[in-house]
A and B are shown apart, each in its own frame.
Chain A
């Protein structure tokens, strides 16, 4: 695991509330705006970024992230430009861990295969992959180069996954296990009630020492408060992407809106 990712996990493990790991669609609003937003959310206290590589057919995503990917693609974003965004962020001193969130086809075709994608991501300064349509049983092609390059690989657990699958996903994950607290696609609210929190605690027991992140439906400080003690990281995607789109304006306007959104999440206190 990279030093950036280790640092991110440490913040999450030591804090009273989970550390904040926003999701951003690369190139939505333009390259410069994405770059400005990345620096702004780091300043606001985010420790890890899931940078979404836009794909034409994002199966696991709801309408908000689908639309963001379409806008980004229409603006000329590509897999290679997405890596350039990571490189630019690192060259300008960015310190968040950056995970590339990509469906498999753009890696397979656009970056020359899973092995080549790993080399190129490491070279650009990224810290790992989240590939939602790559289950652990088919992931060897990605895991081996990532292990060699010190990149993280993140797999998923859902409430319908069997205990054996959750255990295996946790074992296969380097970095963290991505917990989805409900069925469905991204962009719908999740009620972090006793049932979901109880499930997270079961996942914690199955996952052993693998850190946990919770995503899908994390949208406001109250969600972070509710999650305190049940996860190490909290991922917020659709809410931020939608806010950025509605805000519009210059890269600075976007950066300010993202900063305020993430800062509020970071200020949350345990319930």
Chain B
């Protein structure tokens, strides 16, 4: 059968559990990706865009005041300084170039926090592609500034009113739209979904860890950090950071997922805590579902982590014992958000704030250790959420 050429699974996770209506498009995408990786023209164009348009390499910043406060040697990989304010642009640039290569005229994308939607709208404007972004009604409300940004960049934002009206439902609608639209490329924004998306998205984000590793060596004079730490929604920024450190067993890998406001179903997005093995959006992974296999609602203060499944490579890294995954709740994330602002003059995205909040809580376990933290995005978009919660504390 005309099937895939690259490995489709990570251990027993991943795969391509997609309707036949999508399979031809997924096969076409894989073929284009393989071809592009062997084409120096493609890689040099992507590198040029990443540098001149995106602003790569992003800095690795030694957060000295916070390091002193927490007793941890903390280094921040500043993806918040990438153009559009989050790591999402790495993948958006790569996939949009692929789409152009395939002769696609239109980009479909889903978005939760709006960061991936903004990144997609941005590269579409740059490359002259039409852009349609699917976004849940709930997320449109809580991430209003990003909705306006997408519109200013020429994208059409389609409000999704099915299901829980958040990221999961936006992915459903984008996939349904893609099935009907062979001239479009679906620019999936995280390292999840059916093969080849987890592989492609991780490849385009692996620049994060490659840079961070080199910069850490140059700036600290030490070979490797003790811990690479990142928040995990779908897991794209975490896998981008982790990949470079995977071969180095002495570097611990920690992903932080959203503990939300409680441990009951619907109150969190903690897949390792409350999930089971299952299949959602085309891949076998850990999924928050009830005992009947129905996907459960999620809650997180951060729209970007508010998703009931995790990228399959993370599920496998956990299974292998190579990476650990723990939770930070809404309150910890808020504390991390405030700490970075006050000690370092950086307002982080609420997604990244989960990694900060986790480290704040667990600082005692990491005294004197060197930590590289993936600061995946900037926090301006989250003021609408944060300010009412902090009240007089803000």
Contact = CB atoms under 8 A, between A and B. Distances in A.
Interface string B279-293: 111100001010111
Interface stretch (B16-24, B82-90, B321-329): B16-24
B153 interface: no
B282 A133 contact: yes
A184 B281 contact: no
Contact of B294 (A59, A73, A184): A73
B179 A60 contact: yes
How many A residues touch the partner, as a band?
35 or more
A60 B19 CA distance: 7
Interface in B12-33: 15-21, 23-25
Contacts of B182: 160, 183
A245 interface: no
Contacts of A268: none
Interface SS of chain B: loop
Contact of B17 (A80, A104, A110): A104
A158 interface: yes
Interface stretch (A4-12, A88-96, A164-172): A164-172
| Of listed A60, A104, A109, A136, residue having the most chain B CB within 10 A | A109
Contacts of A148: none
A79 B21 contact: no
B385 interface: no
Contacts of A78: 292
A138 B17 contact: yes
B1 A165 contact: yes
7 contacts: A66-B162, A106-B292, A109-B277, A109-B293, A135-B20, A158-B21, A160-B24
A135 B293 contact: no
| Of listed A56, A157, A168, residue having the most chain B CB within 10 A | A56
Interface stretch (B168-176, B227-235, B338-346, B356-364): B168-176
A167 B182 CA distance: 22
Contacts of B19: 59-60, 132-133, 156
Given A109-B278, A161-B24, A164-B2, A56 B295 contact: yes
Contacts of A169: 20
B3 interface: yes
A108 B294 contact: no
A129 interface: no
B55 interface: no
A184 B176 CA distance: 7
Contacts of A108: 277-279, 293
Interface in A28-79: 55-57, 59-60, 62-63, 66, 73, 78-79
Contacts of B168: 57
A50 B97 CA distance: 42
Given A105-B295, A158-B24, A56 B163 contact: yes
| Of listed A105, A180, A184, residue having the most chain B CB within 10 A | A105
B194 to A, nearest CB: 9
Contacts of B3: 137
A59 B281 contact: yes
Interface residues of B, number: 38
A110 B18 contact: no
A260 B164 CA distance: 36
B291 A109 contact: yes
A162 B293 contact: no
A177 to B, nearest CB: 10
B232 to A, nearest CB: 21
Contacts of B172: 57, 59
A233 interface: no
B276 interface: yes
Nearest to A133: B17
B279 A162 contact: no
B160 to A, nearest CB: 12
Q: Which 3 A-B residue pairings sit nearest by Cβ, starting from the closest?
A: A109-B293, A106-B293, A156-B20
B21 A57 contact: no
Nearest to A107: B293
Given A109-B278, A137-B1, 19 more contacts: A57-B163, A57-B168, A57-B281, A59-B176, A63-B162, A80-B292, A105-B287, A109-B277, A109-B287, A110-B294, A133-B282, A134-B17, A158-B24, A160-B21, A160-B24, A161-B23, A162-B24, A169-B20, A184-B21
B211 to A, nearest CB: 36
Contacts of B293: 55, 79, 105-111
B44 interface: no
Contact of A79 (B17, B18, B292): B292
B21 A164 contact: no
B295 to A, nearest CB: 5
B187 to A, nearest CB: 18
Contacts of B4: 137
Contact of A62 (B1, B15, B176, B181): B176
A106 B17 CA distance: 13
Contact of A104 (B179, B279, B291): B279
A5 B182 CA distance: 34
Given A62-B176, A138-B16, A57 B295 contact: yes
Contacts of A1: none
B20 A180 contact: yes
Contacts of A133: 17-19, 279, 282
Nearest to A188: B180
Nearest to A132: B19
Contacts of B180: 183-185
Nearest to A136: B1
Contact of A57 (B2, B18, B280): B280
A161 B26 CA distance: 11
Contact of B1 (A110, A168, A183): A168
Interface in A107-150: 107-111, 132-138
